[in-house]
Amino acid sequence: MVSTVVDNACRPNGTVNRRLIHFLDYQTPPISTTSVSSTDISIDATRNLWIRLYSPSNNQLLPVPIFFHGG
């Protein structure tokens, strides 16, 4: 079903109508547990560009994984 919606969101020239795809883009809320908390930080609200910052709740030093999505 999702592939059908994505196929119908494509314009004749091959570009994608992102307003239609936006309805399928589900954003989970930030979490807060005993060991990890997360916060959403808006970088550019006009483009809906944001990052999620994960941090330990008990202030211990941990290695930091960084993920850059190339999209």
Per residue in 11-70, pLDDT (tens digit) is 778 777 766 666 666 667 777 676 788 888 999 888 878 888 887 777 677 777 888 888
pLDDT at 66: 86
The C-alpha atoms of residue 50 and residue 23 are separated, in whole angstroms, by 17
* pLDDT on residue 21: 64
In terms of residue numbers, what domain contains 37? 2-56
Identify the pLDDT of residue 20.
Answer: 64
Residue 8 lies in a domain: yes
Within-domain flag for 67: no
Establish if 64 belongs to a structural domain.
no
In angstroms, the CA 14 to CA 9 distance is 10
Q: Does 68 fall in a domain?
A: no
Cα maximum dimension of the chain: 53
- 20 torsion bin: left (phi>0), alpha (psi -120 to 50), beta (else): alpha
Under a CB-based contact definition with an 8 Å cutoff, are residues 51 and 68 in contact? no
Q: Is residue 63 part of a domain?
A: no
